[in-house]
Amino acid sequence: MIKAVLTDIEGTTTPISFVKDVLFPYSYEKMEEFVKNNLQNPQVQKIIEDVKKEINKSDASLEEVIEILKSWIVEDKKITPLKELQGLIWEEGYKSGKLQGFVYPDAYNKLKEWFCSGIKIFIYSSGSVKAQKLLFSYTNYGDLNYLFSGYFDTNIGNKKDKQSYVKIAKEIGFNPSEILFLSDNSDEIIAAASAGYNVIRLVRPLDAEYIDNFPYKQVESFDEIEIGRL
């Protein structure tokens, strides 16, 4: 019997394009202005120092640091000071109403239905826990964080690694057989299944395609997921 749902975000509850076409360009456009307006913020000061360390150039100018940060966005580098700074830029964007998180209507309706029937819902995404909470704080359906009992990012481990799912099951206090994992990524689905989870792969028409002979269930929308039947 399913007692908990663990869900991915990008390509599952939210279009991949939201991150690629909305969040990343926003952080690129706001980078210079944000850094220059927040030079007194100790967090920003630390991030600037971390960038200099990363590029081994302690005398790098502010302009150089900003250019490096922007080039990392273009190259989609997963570098900690960049992620931290993006988190701050997005936070300001959400709070000011310039950014809004997007959740598919079918995902919203089904998550709410599960929540109301007592199923515990958890998030596992490669975006930081801070970024996850922000996205769900300011969505097209308002603040949705009440739906979730916990959040995991890659601090618990790689999403394609079976051990990450073993650890999450322990942490949330459910047997893998009681958990349903949802993701668009086939490697993540296989990793969770090998840890004993129930799994369903989301195939959002804009973001993914059905895989022939995939050994696990694939659906286009949360509407097709009937938890009582698993």
How far apart CA 89 and CA 34 sit, in angstroms, is 7
Minimum CB distance to Mg ion smaller for 21 or for 49 = 21
SS3 204: coil
Beta bridge partners of 14: 10
How far apart CA 153 and CA 124 sit, in angstroms, is 6
Site for Mg ion in 44-83 (CB under 5 A): none
Site for Mg ion in 183-222 (CB under 5 A): 184
How far apart CA 218 and CA 45 sit, in angstroms, is 46
Q: Closest residue (Cβ) to Mg ion?
A: 11
Residue whose C-alpha is closest to residue 44's, from 26, 66, 60 = 66
Minimum CB distance to Mg ion smaller for 8 or for 153 = 8
Site for Mg ion in 5-34 (CB under 5 A): 8, 10-11
Least distance CB 120 / Mg ion (angstroms): 20
Contact (Cβ atoms closer than 8 angstroms) between residue 35 and residue 44: yes
Residue type, 157: G
Structure tokens at 215: 């050994």
How many residues in the shown chain lie near Mg ion by CB under 5 A?
Answer: 4
Minimum CB distance to Mg ion smaller for 118 or for 205 = 205
Minimum CB distance to Mg ion smaller for 10 or for 153 = 10
Structure tokens at 15: 């279009």
Beta bridge partners of 152: 124
Least distance CB 17 / Mg ion (angstroms): 12
Does position 176 interact with Mg ion (CB under 5 A)? The reply is no
Minimum CB distance to Mg ion smaller for 22 or for 60 = 22
SS3 94: helix
- Give the range of 46-54, 93-101, 164-172, 177-185 binding Mg ion by CB under 5 A: 177-185
Minimum CB distance to Mg ion smaller for 11 or for 101 = 11
Contact residues for Mg ion (CB under 5 A)? 8, 10-11, 184
